[in-house]
């Protein structure tokens, strides 16, 4: 990957309004104005082939499209991409490969990428997600860095910063937020990227796209999500090379099993001064505290 | 649909454990036992064709498979089905049509159902759901009954009952709950079906399957969900013929627009004695209250 992929890709910046106002009636019979999250269909075309329609808040549609293609392993590097053009008039995003632009031959003709459409898995993260290809097979080839452990001090600082960022959620609700945070250098604990979307996986995919556009690596980062720690969340985090995953929600069995397999450092139920460390214990440094008791509580 | 579809379909009852126990470390450094939601892959075969793999809690896998096929319009009536057999050893559910059982010819050979695999839409309810076929085109043909209005009195009773039902959520978190409630007769406000799953859409699909298995119609029912009021939620509710949709969460723009189009009665932010009525006002009866002011609050 090049240092500055952004400048090499022809990009629109087609952000649209994140909230709309509607009228509702409350329990007192009062007519009130309420802000709801915007939600727009965006059909993704890759080298002129229609892939699927995403429903999105529409804040960063170019990064969403790129990140979706990245997380589905349809693109292996931002260097493969020539252009990402969003047109809200036609509710579409057209992604063009350098191969097509430079040779006139699409990736569908030159590669075996079409075969990945054969395998569908519906994930439960949130319902029924689509994963083309077999992401699970990628996991065995993935090793996460141990060079950047997380301390509870940095965790608390991060949670505090995330709380201040959640603008659309506070305004309109019904969105999921994701953040990419630094875990090294002077800006350790800082939020580098923050994305909200009506779909949690859209938010993750948008972060993945932005990481490529901005040339950011995963090893010294922390991934924060407001959503549950599901298998798909863990897998996507691993594919971005991020060793540490943090959520204010709980986890599912598959998310737990995959994080264990990957030896990812995963924390959930992070709220206020509370958290639970589920996996990857050796990458987490805790301040010395009172000696341990053995108790039971909710995941 | 017959009165007693249940007896005509050969069914397994392959419920599996809903929670598993893991060990975590809390912020005090204590090692604690936590319960997490079970999550199991279940590959759906319909007339020997592999359709997809669902990730599920596994509480009612037969109803989930039937409801998934119903909500994707792959099956039009439970009378079309001869058998639903779940085998957790192979993590699979095999659904067999009467056509195949009685004539040896599968529905794939006799109908044009294969064509619905051509169209994929990724919904944002929760991320990236799969909807085969174009459910949106069904909406124009849907008319929801006005025979059973909802009163705030029944709404409050229902919310109270739902709270007591949420067992797995209370125990392990990370699941969504859905309930089918009566809105007629002596048991008005009662919960008829309650389903929790790691995926919200799994919970909805399981209710749809149970409605067919138990011969329940939608017109005099209320659908309750813990999740957000997304387009997919509204569409599925409408396809089940249920005119009233209630959530303790908020709504998305597409959910709102489709509910408006359907004139569905939709309420969100239902917690304690609070709620917001978004659409389908004439199907909702409110107790006389103090006169109205015009204020602004979150959706």
- Tell me the chain A residues in contact with residue B128 when contact means C-beta distances shorter than 8 Å: 54, 128-130, 199, 201-202
> With an 8 Å Cβ cutoff, are A286 and B36 in contact?
no
> Which of the pair, B203 or B3, is modelled with greater confidence?
B203
Does the pLDDT at position B128 exceed 50? no
Alpha carbons A188 and A168: distance in angstroms, whole number = 25
Sheet holding A244-247, edge to edge: A191-197, A176-182, A221-225, A244-247, A265-271, A274-279, B19-26, B31-37, A295-298
Please, which pLDDT band fits residue A99 given cuts at 50, 70 and 90? very high
Closest residue of A to B228, CA-based? Answer: A174
Q: What is the pLDDT of residues A133-184, one digit of tens each?
A: 456 666 777 899 999 999 999 999 999 888 887 665 566 566 788 999 999 9
Closest residue of A to B68, CA-based? Answer: A128
In terms of C-beta distances under 8 Å and separation of at least 24 residues, what long-range contacts does A238-241 make, across chains too? Answer: A238/A139, A238/A142, A238/A144, A238/A262, A238/A264, A239/A70, A239/A71, A239/A73, A239/A135, A239/A138, A239/A142, A239/A208, A240/A207, A240/A208, A240/A211, A241/A144, A241/A145, A241/A217
pLDDT at B6: 52
> With an 8 Å Cβ cutoff, are A170 and B297 in contact?
no
pLDDT at B114: 66
Nearest to A148 by CA among A235, A254, A264, A63: A264
pLDDT at A129: 41
Above pLDDT 90, what percent of chain B? 58
Which of A70-74, A224-228, A251-255, B3-7 shows the lowest mean pLDDT across its residues?
B3-7
- Tell me the chain A residues in contact with residue B24 when contact means C-beta distances shorter than 8 Å: 276-278, 299
Mean confidence (pLDDT) of chain B: 84
CATH architecture of the domain formed by A6-134: Roll (3.10)
For A93-99, what is the mean pLDDT?
97
- Tell me the chain A residues in contact with residue B278 when contact means C-beta distances shorter than 8 Å: 22, 24
Same fold for the pair B6-109+119-134 and B150-285: no
A88–chain B nearest CA distance, Å:
16
Does the pLDDT at position A214 exceed 50? yes
pLDDT at B130: 42
Nearest to B194 by CA among B217, B210, B178: B178
Does the pLDDT at position A221 exceed 50? yes
Three-class SS of chain B: CCCCCHHHCEECCCCCCCEEEEEEEECCCCEEEEEEECCEEEEEEECCEEEEEEEECCCCHHHHHHHHHHHCCCCCCHHHEEEEEEECCCCEEEEEEHHHHHHCCCHHHHCCHHHHHHCEEEECCCCCEEEECCHHHHHCCCCCCCCCCEEHHHHHHHHHHHHHHCHHHHHHCCCEEEEEEECCCCCCCCEEEEEEECCHHHHHHHHHHHHHHCCCCCCCEEEEECCCECHHHHHHHHHCCCCEEEECCCEEHHHHHHHHHHCCEEEEEEECCEEEEEECHHHEECCCCCCCCCEEEEC
Q: What is the pLDDT of residues B71-93, one digit of tens each?
A: 888 999 999 999 999 999 999 99
- Tell me the chain B residues in contact with residue A245 when contact means C-beta distances shorter than 8 Å: none
Which of B172-181, B193-202, B222-231, B243-252 shows the lowest mean pLDDT across its residues?
B172-181
A187–chain B nearest CA distance, Å:
24
Q: What number of other Cβ atoms are within 10 A of residue A167's Cβ?
A: 14
Which of A112-116, A245-249, B205-209 shows the lowest mean pLDDT across its residues?
A112-116
Nearest to B234 by CA among B212, B259, B217, B253: B259
> With an 8 Å Cβ cutoff, are A299 and B172 in contact?
yes
Query: Strand pairing partners for A284?
Result: A150
Q: Does domain B6-109+119-134 have CATH number 3.40.50.300?
A: no
Please, which pLDDT band fits residue B122 given cuts at 50, 70 and 90? very low
> Which of the pair, A296 or B95, is modelled with greater confidence?
B95
pLDDT at B126: 34
ipTM of the complex: 0.79
- Tell me the chain A residues in contact with residue B34 when contact means C-beta distances shorter than 8 Å: 276, 296-299
- Phi, psi of B171, rounded to the nearest 5 degrees: -80, -45
Paired tokens of A90:
């036609």
Place of tokens 């990402």: A84
pLDDT at B249: 87
pLDDT at A125: 36
Does the pLDDT at position B11 exceed 50? yes
pLDDT at A163: 82
pLDDT at A19: 84
- Determine the Cα angle at A128 with ends B195 and A19, to 5°: 95
For B262-289, what is the mean pLDDT?
90
pLDDT at B173: 64
pLDDT at B257: 92
For B152-168, what is the mean pLDDT?
84
Q: Does B166 touch chain A (CB under 8 A)?
A: no
Mean confidence (pLDDT) of chain A: 84
Which of A104-108, A139-143, B195-199 shows the lowest mean pLDDT across its residues?
A139-143
B218–chain A nearest CA distance, Å:
22
> Which of the pair, A118 or A222, is modelled with greater confidence?
A222
pLDDT at A175: 75
Which of A24-38, A125-139, A233-247 shows the lowest mean pLDDT across its residues?
A125-139
Among A198, A249, A298, the residue with its CB nearest the CB of B252 is A198
> With an 8 Å Cβ cutoff, are A277 and B173 in contact?
no
Nearest to A169 by CA among A225, A125, A129, A210: A225
CATH number listed for the domain at residues A150-285 = 3.40.140.10
pTM of the model: 0.81
Q: Does A285 touch chain B (CB under 8 A)?
A: no
Does the pLDDT at position B288 exceed 80? no
Paired tokens of B269:
């932010």
pLDDT at B270: 92
For B191-213, what is the mean pLDDT?
92
Alpha carbons B252 and B230: distance in angstroms, whole number = 5
- Residue B17 burial (C-beta neighbours within 10 Å; 0-12, 13-18, 19+): exposed
For A192-203, what is the mean pLDDT?
87
For B111-139, what is the mean pLDDT?
52
CB A30 within 8 A of CB B295: yes
- Name residues 28-57 of chain B within 8 A of A (Cβ): 28-41, 52-56
Alpha carbons B202 and A19: distance in angstroms, whole number = 28
Domain borders along chain B are 6-109+119-134, 150-285
Q: What is the pLDDT of residues A264-295, one digit of tens each?
A: 999 999 988 899 999 999 999 987 654 444 54
> With an 8 Å Cβ cutoff, are B276 and A199 in contact?
no
For B28-41, what is the mean pLDDT?
90
Does the pLDDT at position A131 exceed 70? no
> Which of the pair, A124 or A137, is modelled with greater confidence?
A137
Paired tokens of B27:
């912020």
Does the pLDDT at position B167 exceed 70? no
- Tell me the chain B residues in contact with residue A152 when contact means C-beta distances shorter than 8 Å: 27
Q: Does A182 touch chain B (CB under 8 A)?
A: no
B270, B272, B275, B280: CA torsion to nearest 10: 60
Alpha carbons A94 and A12: distance in angstroms, whole number = 10
Beta-strand relationship, B19-26 and B31-37:
antiparallel
Q: Does B295 touch chain A (CB under 8 A)?
A: yes
Q: Does B136 touch chain A (CB under 8 A)?
A: no
Q: What number of other Cβ atoms are within 10 A of residue A21's Cβ?
A: 11
For A215-226, what is the mean pLDDT?
95
For A70-84, what is the mean pLDDT?
93
Above pLDDT 70, what percent of chain A? 82
- Name residues 191-220 of chain B within 8 A of A (Cβ): 197-202
A271–chain B nearest CA distance, Å:
11
pLDDT at A220: 97
């Amino acid at each position: 990957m090049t240092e500055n992929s952004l400048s090499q890709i022809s990009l629109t910046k087609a952000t649209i309004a994140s909230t709309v106002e509607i009228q509702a009636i409350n329990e007192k019979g009062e007519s009130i104005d309420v802000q709801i999250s915007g939600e727009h269909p965006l059909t993704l075309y890759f080298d002129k082939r229609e892939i699927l329609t995403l429903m999105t808040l529409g804040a960063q549609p170019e990064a969403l499209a790129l990140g979706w293609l990245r997380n589905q392993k349809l693109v292996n590097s931002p260097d493969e991409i020539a252009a990402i053009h969003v047109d809200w008039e036609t509710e579409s995003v057209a992604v063009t490969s350098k191969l097509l632009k430079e040779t006139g031959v699409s990736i569908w003709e030159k590669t075996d990428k079409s075969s990945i459409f054969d395998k569908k898995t519906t994930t439960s993260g949130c319902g029924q997600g689509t994963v083309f290809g077999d992401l699970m097979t990628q996991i065995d080839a993935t090793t996460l860095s141990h060079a950047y452990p997380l301390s509870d001090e940095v965790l608390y600082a991060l949670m505090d910063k995330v709380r201040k960022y959640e603008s659309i959620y506070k305004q309109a609700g019904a969105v999921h937020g994701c953040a990419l945070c630094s875990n090294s250098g002077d800006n350790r604990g800082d939020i580098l990227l923050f994305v909200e979307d009506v779909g949690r996986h859209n938010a993750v995919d948008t972060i993945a796209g932005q990481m490529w556009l901005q040339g950011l690596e995963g090893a010294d980062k922390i991934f924060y999500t407001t959503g549950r720690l599901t298998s798909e969340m863990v897998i996507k985090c691993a594919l971005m090379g991020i060793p540490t995953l943090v959520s204010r929600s709980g986890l599912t069995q598959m998310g737990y099993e995959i994080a264990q397999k990957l030896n990812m450092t995963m924390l959930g139920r992070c709220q206020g001064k509370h958290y639970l460390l589920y996996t990857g214990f050796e990458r987490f440094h805790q301040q010395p505290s009172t000696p341990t008791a053995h108790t039971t509580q909710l995941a």
